[in-house]
Structure 1
Amino acid sequence: MSENGTLSSVWDTKIQQFHGGQDWKQLDNFIEDFSVTTNALGTPKNALEASREAVSDFENHQEPAKTSLAQFLWPDDYSKHKDRLLLGNGASELIDLVIRSAPSGPWKPGPWDTQYKEYQRSAEANGRNALRSQDGTRATLLCIVNPCNPTGDYFNVGELKQWIIDNVKDGGVVIVDESMQPWLSSEFRSDSLTSQHEFLASIYLENDISVYVIHSWTKIWSCAGLRLGSVVCPTAKHCDALKKIQVPWSVNTPALAFLDAVVKDHKYMERTWEVTTKWRAEIINRLTVLSKAIVEFRNDEKLAWTFHGKNFLSWVWIDMKTVEIAKEAVTKAKIAGVPVRSGNPGYNRPTFVRVAVRELSKVDSLIQAWITLGIR
């Protein structure tokens, strides 16, 4: 067992990139999983039922699910852009497809302190050298997670376009991961790169720069086990090129049925935008009380926790300032049946802990587990 309590049988860290979200399976007293950034509302019931019914359907066609997702992304002109959309077996499959198809050369992550590691894993597996995120050198391949998981940083669409212009070589490829972007608000589409049709077309025609926008839909709709992702390609031709190297029928029938139903559940999205920001603010308030207790007990203002991330996001990235307290927090949360995500494995940020936004009655259990944290 590793230092953060994850069984070695779950991840072979010699050959696999560590990923959270497994601890709850080993808990006899499980209450709530605070280690994953899925929607606090849980899985939409109607979509889940559609997925269950589809188990007996042995046909496998991306339609009508792909058209339904296109309508979700582009309500007013989906027919113009549908051919640029490709579904995949989770975002990971699509990340690997795009990176394998990109021209050879170095890659660069987004400018954040750290980000979701699947891009690094895929780039290294394909023999690419990495540039530092703050390196001014233009890269052949850019990979930015926006909003950034886990740090919570976010570029608005204007800042994002400028960062792309400043950091990619002509003839290069850009992957923008917007998996957490739909949490922004009901106006998320207007601040998404998927809405920037003229920019995407011009940067391709004038500079031969191909920009792909990837979504993992398993977080916003809390359906991680279904493996459901999509990529918006620069052109339909780019989409066809990815299909040629994609495993056929990679998206299963239950996932397609789920997608077709869930994009029509407008009340679920409205409720998500309504409660996530409120619950996140209240969680930070409660955690701030715990932080103040540690500061007072140890008489050290430097130990005050800092909370990172935009207010609309489904998690809080917490710097607990010491490795000791962060490790204690992970251990106590797991013992109490409310696992959180350590920032050490995977992200190499040993003083950080990531806590998912959850319904406030479940947060009570986490606060109780941490009530004596750092005080002894």
Structure 2
Amino acid sequence: MSATRVWDTSLQQFHGGQDWKFLDNFVEDFSVTTNALGTPQGALIAAREAVDQEPAKSSLAKFLWPVDHQSQVSRLLLGNGASELIDLVVRSAPSGSWKPGPWDAQYKEYQRSAEVNNRILLASNDKQKANLICIVNPCNPTGDYMPLPEIKNWIINNTERGGVVIVDESMQPWLSSSWRDDSLTSQQKFVSELYENSKISLYVIHSWTKLWSCTGLRLGSVVCPTMAHCNRLKKIQVPWSVNTAALAFLDAAVTDTDYMNKTWELTPIWRKEILSRLTAISDEIVKVKGEQARWSFYGREFLSWIWIDVKDADFAEQAVETARNAGVPVRSGKPGYKRPTYVRVAVRELSKVDVLIGAWMSLVKN
């Protein structure tokens, strides 16, 4: 086959240097003006190490599995944010139906990926089993959380034989210093038996940009059922998808125990105080509009956000706009999650919270 037949010149500028791919008797390529000495060996070794995502991948493995990381690291793959890994797993899954976790709203990237891959979409409350299940646990934005016995049972009861399960545990490490004990990453026996007995492949995805507050770096990981599953994903992953800055950041972040201890200590304290201040605003609204206007607050106490139903779509829009104008934007539940009366508020240091509370209290008093 000629290299000219590989290029669609209506879409791409023709570029030579491809003929060697189609030669059974290839010896040397004289069509490109590369250095005749070949690739510098030191640079080649460095590139191979970068492709293998080391030493950052091993460092993350130690963070996930402090005791037996060496036996687990072959199941771990890093990606350019969780979105890349979501796409890889969804594309590699057998075609068929897709169902989200049991929540009434869930991070939408999983549905988007299912849609673009032409899957049959089932509702979260559909009793039918699906061959691709995607669960965000803890659920963003609702704040729902299933502990291990519950989520394992839900997976078994909702997944077709031979299907694929993705559990997004991006927010799970906020649970406590013992978060690993309640993570599916600790359940290798369950994962292995699920595959051996039912041919169900269970993947656990993390977006690390939330925990370590580094969204611009694009950093995610997936724990695959087996090394073979991991290798299949590698074959369709773009090489060097994780940049060197992100790898260096990860390598350092996983060893910062003080940062994690402060996260577990302060997040629930700050969240409780923010909830108290938001409740005070709700109480003011109840005085004017009655008990039916009382806000509802959702989410477990360890999470880094609060999901709020303010019971009034117009007020929700005003609250979002007022927060933005005050320099403290919040997330509207309307455009992505189709929940026009909801807003999501992140947990933040309390001096910054004063600005948001002041802005919203002015809405109530006016």
For 1:203, the equivalent position in structure 2 comes to 194
For 1:324, the equivalent position in structure 2 comes to 314
CA contact (8 A) 1:218 1:228 kept: yes
For 1:265, the equivalent position in structure 2 comes to 256
CA distance in structure 2 between the partners assigned to 1:303 and 1:283 by the alignment: 19
Deviations 1:14-38 (A, max 9, x none): xxxxxxxxxxxxxxxxxxxxxxxxx
Does 1:367 find its partner at 2:353?
Answer: no
CA distance in structure 2 between the partners assigned to 1:77 and 1:368 by the alignment: 49
CA distance in structure 2 between the partners assigned to 1:143 and 1:374 by the alignment: 39
Deviation at 1:374, TM superposition (A): 3.8
Tell me the number of residue pairs that the alignment of Structure 1 and Structure 2 aligns.
Answer: 319
CA distance in structure 1 between the partners assigned to 2:90 and 2:83 by the alignment: 11
Structure 1 residues 54-93: aligned runs within 5 Å: 60-61=50-51, 62-93=53-84
Deviation at 1:372, TM superposition (A): 2.5
For 1:161, the equivalent position in structure 2 comes to 152
Alignment gaps of 5+ in structure 2: 1-45
Identity within the alignment, %:
66
Deviation at 1:184, TM superposition (A): 0.1
Task: Identify the match of residue 307 of structure 1 among 280, 283, 297.
Answer: 297
For 1:9, the equivalent position in structure 2 comes to none
Letter in 1 for 2:361: I
Letter in 2 for 1:321: K
Q: Secondary structure at the match of 1:371?
A: helix
Does 1:343 find its partner at 2:315?
Answer: no
Deviation at 1:90, TM superposition (A): 0.2
CA distance in structure 1 between the partners assigned to 2:80 and 2:154 by the alignment: 29
Letter in 2 for 1:310: R
CA distance in structure 1 between the partners assigned to 2:308 and 2:64 by the alignment: 32
For 1:146, the equivalent position in structure 2 comes to 137
- TM-score, normalised via structure 1 length: 0.84
CA distance in structure 2 between the partners assigned to 1:104 and 1:212 by the alignment: 17
For 1:227, the equivalent position in structure 2 comes to 218
For 1:100, the equivalent position in structure 2 comes to 91
Letter in 2 for 1:102: A
CA contact (8 A) 2:281 2:364 kept: no
CA distance in structure 2 between the partners assigned to 1:290 and 1:129 by the alignment: 43
Deviations 1:108-132 (A, max 9, x none): 0000010000000000000011111
For 1:239, the equivalent position in structure 2 comes to 230
CA distance in structure 1 between the partners assigned to 2:125 and 2:308 by the alignment: 23
| Greater relative CO, 1 or 2 (CA 8 Å, sep 6+) | 1
Structure 1 residues 245-260: aligned runs within 5 Å: 245-260=236-251
CA distance in structure 2 between the partners assigned to 1:75 and 1:280 by the alignment: 29
Q: Secondary structure at the match of 2:50?
A: coil
Task: Identify the match of residue 348 of structure 2 among 349, 358, 365.
Answer: 358
CA contact (8 A) 1:151 1:308 kept: yes
CA distance in structure 1 between the partners assigned to 2:361 and 2:82 by the alignment: 37
CA distance in structure 2 between the partners assigned to 1:365 and 1:350 by the alignment: 23
Structure 1 residues 19-34: aligned runs within 5 Å: none
Letter in 2 for 1:190: D
Deviation at 1:375, TM superposition (A): 4.2
CA distance in structure 1 between the partners assigned to 2:150 and 2:185 by the alignment: 15
Task: Identify the match of residue 284 of structure 2 among 274, 288, 293.
Answer: 293
Q: Secondary structure at the match of 1:143?
A: strand
CA distance in structure 1 between the partners assigned to 2:354 and 2:140 by the alignment: 25
Root-mean-square deviation (CA), in Å?
1.1
Q: Secondary structure at the match of 1:373?
A: helix
Letter in 1 for 2:166: I
Deviations 1:186-208 (A, max 9, x none): 00000000000110000000100
Q: Greater Rg, structure 1 or structure 2?
A: 2
Does 1:115 find its partner at 2:131?
Answer: no
Q: Secondary structure at the match of 2:269?
A: helix
Alignment gaps of 5+ in structure 1: 1-56
